[in-house]
């Protein structure tokens, strides 16, 4: 366990965003809870090996993602893609006003995993491009291109969702 930070403090600091990330990946509340629990169970066993407490957050997100991928029983490899030059469509304030968090999470869940992961992390607290690159183990340029494409796809999904 990293010194000066207790397990309880780490749970309090990260479990909500980890749940949101897990929910966007699994799309099921119970599965998301299981992923978060599995992540912290591993942390409880191996967290003491982390000498740098500043790495805890990154370790948790990376571990949760690995556990999710393991649960899907398949490895996914994503090729680097060039940045998308297309203009990201906007959502009107009226349409945004009709949205709630669960709708956005559901829409994120409809995105392919390679877009879902970086965009969810992007919307979670304090995840920079570099954070996302570290969590997903992909180049920062790939993060940017996937985020760009992901935003286009998400907004299109939300536009349709709000239009219904």
Point out which residues bind another protein (CB under 8 A).
1, 6-8, 11-12, 15-17, 19-20, 23-24, 29, 32-33, 36-37, 40-41, 44-45, 47, 88, 90-91, 96, 99-105, 108, 120, 122-128, 151, 154-155, 158
61: number of Cβ within 10 Å: 25
Contact 136, 65 (CB under 8 A): yes
**Distance between CA atoms of 65 and 138, rounded to whole angstroms?**
13
Of the pair 48, 55, the CB lying nearest another protein is at: 48
Of the pair 12, 76, the CB lying nearest another protein is at: 12
**Distance between CA atoms of 87 and 121, rounded to whole angstroms?**
21
Of the pair 37, 62, the CB lying nearest another protein is at: 37
Contact 132, 57 (CB under 8 A): no
Q: Shortest gap between Cβ of 99 and another protein (angstroms)? A: 6
């Amino acid at each position: 366990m990293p010194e000066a930070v207790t397990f309880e403090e780490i749970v309090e600091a990260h479990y909500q965003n980890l749940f949101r990330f897990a929910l966007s990946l699994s799309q099921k509340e119970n599965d998301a809870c299981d992923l978060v629990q599995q992540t912290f169970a591993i942390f409880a066993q191996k967290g003491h090996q982390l000498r740098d407490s500043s790495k805890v957050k990154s370790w948790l997100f990376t571990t949760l993602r690995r556990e999710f991928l393991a649960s899907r029983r398949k490895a996914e490899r994503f090729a680097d893609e060039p940045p998308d030059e297309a203009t990201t469509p906007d959502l009107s304030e009226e349409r945004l006003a009709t949205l709630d968090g669960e709708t956005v999470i559901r829409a994120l869940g409809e995105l392919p995993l390679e877009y879902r992961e970086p965009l969810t992390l992007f919307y979670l607290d304090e995840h920079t491009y570099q954070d996302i690159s570290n969590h997903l183990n992909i180049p920062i340029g790939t993060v940017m291109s996937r985020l760009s494409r992901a935003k286009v796809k998400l907004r299109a999904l939300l536009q349709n969702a709000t239009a219904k």
